[in-house]
Each structure stands twice: as C-alpha cells, then as structure tokens.
Amino acid sequence: MMYPLNVNKRTLGVTFLPDRQAQIVLWSPSADQVDLKINGQSVLPLQQEELGYWQTKTDQLRPGDSYTFVLNNEKEYPDPASLSQPQGVYDASQAIDTSLFYWDDQCWVNPALEDYLLYEVHTGTFTPEGTFASLETKLDYLKALGVTAIEIMPVAQFADSRNWGYDGVYSFAVQNSYGGASNLQRLVDACHYKGIAVVLDVVYNHFGPEGSFFSNFGPYLTSKYCTPWGNAINFDDAWCDGVRHYVIENALMWFRDFHIDALRLDAVHAMKDCSPVHILQELRQQVDHLMETTGRRHHLLVECDLNDPKFINPLTEHGYGMDAQWIDEFHHSLRVTVGEAKTGYYADFDGLAHLTKSYQHGYVYDGQFSNVRQKLFGCKAESNPGHQFIIFSQNHDQVGNRQQGERSSQLYSYDTLKLLAGAVLVSPYIPLLFMGEEWGETNPFFYFATHFEPDLVEAVQQGRKDEFAHSHSDKEVPAPQSHDTFEEAKLQWGLLAKEPHQTLLRYYQTLIALRRQLPALHKLDRQYVNVTANDDQQTLQLHRWQGDQHIQCLMNFSKQPQIVQLSEASQEQDWHKLLDSADEQWFPQNGISTAPGSLSTDNAIELQPESIVIYAQGHEKSHVNVPNPIAQRLYRGEAEAVG
C-alpha cells in the first residue's frame, strides 16, 4: 500500500494508535530488507510496500523506548523521521507520543500578518540556561514590550548542543538540549496564553553535515543541482516523491501537533525544483487543506534572495502562495544610509535613494543591473500588500555573519540606534526585532557550531577564515567550535538595570505602541505611502495615512542639524508631535530637540543629527497610551523581576 499525505495525522515514523499499538512507517527505496530494533534487543521485520515504503504494527514498542532501523541485515541507523534523539544525532531514536500533551489554547486565534511584530530568538543564547523552559519565563517581558510573535531559530536536532540550528539533521526531532518536544509544546501553549504567536524557522534546503545517514535509506539528495551546502535536497529527481512527502509531513506536523502559527522557510531560493507543481506550491495546497480541516490559520514566511514576487503571489496567479518574505534589501539600504561601508553585498546599495525606493516598492532591484551579481536582477512587486514584506535593521544573519559578530550597538552611536528603530517601526511592512536590540545589547552574536568530527571542525573553522580573508582586519575570526564563542553570544539581561539601556528599551516600547495604536502606522497599505528624500541633507520624509489620519516621519541621517519643511499639506489642521528621538527624555547625544510640539506646513523644523521626529494630523485619533510596565519596574530597582 502507498502512504498518501493525511493532514489529520503524521504518516511517517512512529505513531501510536488508539489501541496502543505502534504504527511504524519508513521510506527506504534503497533497502532490500528493513528490521526494527527495540531497546537494542527485539528485532521485528518491516513489510515492504509500494514506492519504497516499509511498515509494521506492533505492541512491543512503547513511548519512551529506544529504537533503530537495521538495513539489509547489516547496519542500524536512527529513524529519519525520529521525533526524539535524546542522546544526539548518532544514537538511537526514542519513540514518543506527541498527542499526549494537553493543550489549553482552544480559544487562541493566530493574528493576521499585519498584526505581527516579530522578535527573533535563538533559544540557546536568549537566556543563561538556553532552554524552552527558561525562554517561557521571559514571555511577560516580551508581552510588555509589545511583541505579538516570536520567531524561534531552528530547533531540529543537530550535533551536540551549540549551533545556530541551520545544521539540523533530524527535521522532526526537537533539539534535546533545548528540552525536546514536550517542552516546545509547553512553550507554544504558554505563548498563546500570553497572546503571542509562534513562528518556527525550518530548513528544507539542506541537511546538516554531521549525523545524516539519510542517503543510506534513499536518494534524499540529488547531484542534479549544487547548493552552498553541496548536493540539493531531491525535489524533482528520481524517487523525489518520498522526499517531498517527508518535507510536507514535517511542515504539517509543526502546525498540527505543536500548534506552531507560522513557519519561516530558510533560503527557499536553494530549494531547487523544476516539477510541474513546485514543492512550495504543493506545501501551500496542503497547508490550506489543513486549515480547512482544523479551522486554524497558519502562515508561510520565506527567506528568498531572488526579488521575484512569484514566491509570494497566490496560487490563483500562478505563484507559489507564500504569505510573506524577508526583505534584506531594506536592511542593506538602511545600513549604508547610516554609514555601513559599501563592500561585499552592500556595494550594490546607494544609501538614501535606495532606502526611499524600498519604503515605496519593497524590492530595490526590480530589473536594473546589479554590479555585485553582474546581471539584470529582480522584478517589480507592484500589487503585493505591505504585510507580505518583513524588514529589520538586525537579524541573526546580518549580525552573526560579520567577522566579529558586532551588533548595531557596537557599530553606531546611541542616537543612530534610535533612528534605526524608528526607520523600521514606521515602515509599511512587518517589523522584525533581533533579540536584545531593544535595549542595545553589547555582546556580539557570533557564528557558532560544535561538531564531533575533527575534520569537520577544521573545515568549518577554515571556511570562516576564508570568508573574511580579504577583510583587512588583524582580528582573529572567533572559533565556531569554542565554548567561549557561544557563551559570549548570550544576552546580558543585567543591562536592563543600567542606562542608557533602560531608556532605549522604553523608547522601543513607545515606538511599538505608536505603531500598534495609530491606524496610519498599523495598516500596511502601500498605496497610502509617500516618500521624499534630500540627498544633500541626508534627510527623508515618510508620509503615511489612513482615512483622515496622517503621519509624517522626518528622519535626519546626517551628523549635522538639518532644516526641513513638511513635504505635503494633507489637511488644513496643524500637525502635532508624537515622538522625537532627540527629546531629552531619550538621552540624545547630539543635541536636544528644538522641534515644536505643533506646527503647520509652513513651519521649518530643525532636525537634530541622527534623529527621527513623528508628527500626526487627525489628532483625535492620534492619542497614544504607552504601556510602561518594564520601565516602571526598572525605575523602582526591580530589574530582577524582568530579567
């Protein structure tokens, strides 16, 4: 028999039936014989089915038991669809029953994407303990900040305990050092109780380099395409159907069995597929089927490096149907505008002009020649709404792939940190914050990865050195394998009790509250956006409106004061100031603001260096309540209650 997809239950690996029997299904077209070994002793044969599948039912395998598959009466391996690897990637799998968890989120409703404010978290470095349980203790803090969705970097089982997560091997198994499957379920349930959605980062473009025995089972990889990690995952070559089944089953499992609200698919441009129905299209179809069945809403977010709206266009328009994508080009334009050297991929970006374009059009390169790529690059995304684009001033890649892992707090002035935050949070796109940026975390976020194989350790270290060989820096590249590299990347929660970190946190809270409560900022309607820039002054004016409420965001990226006038007279009434990053309450370093509290379009405004000022019309709709429980506790000296 064939094992077709069933959105109601997992059909790969070990599942437990109502009669307490275990159903075991393995895809291994390369095998001539498959046996199940339980607790290192009992051996049961699996029956060969169609299209490379093997199966059996037994009451001998119980939750908590260890098991392996013996191929061709020779070598034994963990289950490719294992849900638990308690001893790591080389040892036996553990049978667990995820259906035993009692969920308390029956009333939870996943927000619409335009209501997402994303906060990217690496579980191992977010807290001193580096576990799901310790992450759960920070949910009140995140809620008070204004976060509506946390994005967790990959948790699929990888070698040892220190890794970004993109070297995951067992896609169905939750990393043991983080707390495993049950603790992830508890975390998601707790997030929903607090009103926070959960996005999980998943990797379907390669398997990690250590502990992957998948090729012994079947052609999970193909040499038909080459990716940065070697052979591509097999989505369209011989025997690809079993691999496609594996990936889609995995995505459905996170949604159905772990109540994950959205998946962020890593580097989908490296998911090579020339099938009539692309793997992403098939994934979209199956997730839609799941949503129809369960009544729950799930989002599919992607990292894509192609500036091709086909990925986010709906299936009805022959697109791949992804809900939103990360936009690196906004980040690159913003960082060059505030002084990032135009080297590497930054060489393609002209700062203010490209930032202006990204505010208006999302993609910067939408058909013109790219000097870095040496070709015409990109297409226009004219009809895609603002909630299909995710932007940021920092993320794990943009920080961790620097030679010294410097965060913005180590690269730019304190005033620039406030300007960067404002530039992101007033955009007509979904904002993403990288853990700790809201208080100006000073620890770096290095690339780290521990491996057991000495040759692999050396290769990874040499690869990092080669990557920065032309950086003209005399500093050593931090060793990915080093425990110190990992420890130094952990957040310093104690900084919340110090200045200027307290004030920066309060500033972020205020910006987030503005964004959430003002329709002109909250509604992500790209047609209600106008942007003008003055290259000589290095100033930018972002005008957004919704109904009769108008917002003007005035930004000065230069290091000198600049005199500007509002670019448009949207209504006859005056403009009223809502936020000024150079106001003395925000501890400005380049001069205290002289911008008036209210003005007309005829008034000239002096913008302080590296600052942002936000004015509003339709002021009866511009009153903002700024919840401040974090700062209030800190000012009473109760930092430990937060950290």
**Is residue 132 part of an annotated ligand binding site?**
no
Has 65 been labeled as part of a binding site? no
Q: Is 114 a catalytic residue?
A: no
Q: Does the annotation flag 451 for ligand binding? A: no
Q: Is 268 annotated as a binding residue?
A: yes
3-state secondary structure of 190: helix
Dig out the tokens for 484 from the structure: 């110190």
The residue from 167, 266, 273, 441 that is catalytic is 266
Structure tokens at 21: 């029997």
Among candidate residues 303, 323, 415, 438, the one labeled active-site is: 303
Q: Is there a binding annotation on residue 266?
A: yes
What is the length of the chain? 643
Two tokens at 182?
């049950």
Q: CA-CA distance, 362 to 356, in Å (whole number)?
A: 10
Task: Give the three-state DSSP class for 107.
Answer: coil
**Residue 607 to residue 539: CA distance in whole angstroms:** 9
319 is in an annotated binding site: no
143-176 b/e with 16+ CB inside 10 Å = b? bbbbbbbbbbbbbbbbbbebbbbbbbbbbbbbbb
Q: Is 399 annotated as a binding residue?
A: yes
User: Is residue 76 annotated as a catalytic residue, yes or no?
Assistant: no
| d(C-alpha 73, C-alpha 83), whole Å | 24
Residue 552, annotated as binding a ligand: no
The maximal CA–CA distance of the chain, rounded, in angstroms, is 85
Alpha-carbon distance 166 to 42, whole Å? 35
Is 415 marked within a binding site?
A: no
Provide φ and ψ at 11, rounded to 5°: -120, 15
Q: Check whether 160 is labelled as a binding-site residue.
A: no
Tell me the C-alpha distance between 83 and 97, whole Å: 9
Tokens of 170: 């067992």
C-alpha distances (whole Å) from 181 to each of 133, 274, 319 are: 12, 34, 34
455 is in an annotated binding site: no
- How do 22-27 and 575-580 pair as beta strands? unpaired
Cis (ω within 30 of 0) for the bond into 588? no
299 labeled part of a ligand binding site: no
Task: Please tell me whether 396 is known to bind a ligand.
Answer: yes
Determine whether the annotation assigns residue 400 to a binding site.
Answer: yes
Q: Do residues 156 and 164 make contact, with C-beta atoms less than 8 angstroms apart?
A: no
269 is in an annotated binding site: yes
Which residues are annotated binding-site positions?
A: 264-269, 328-332, 396-401
Which residues are part of the catalytic machinery?
Answer: 266, 303
Q: Which residue ranges are tagged as binding site for substrate?
A: 264-269, 328-332, 396-401
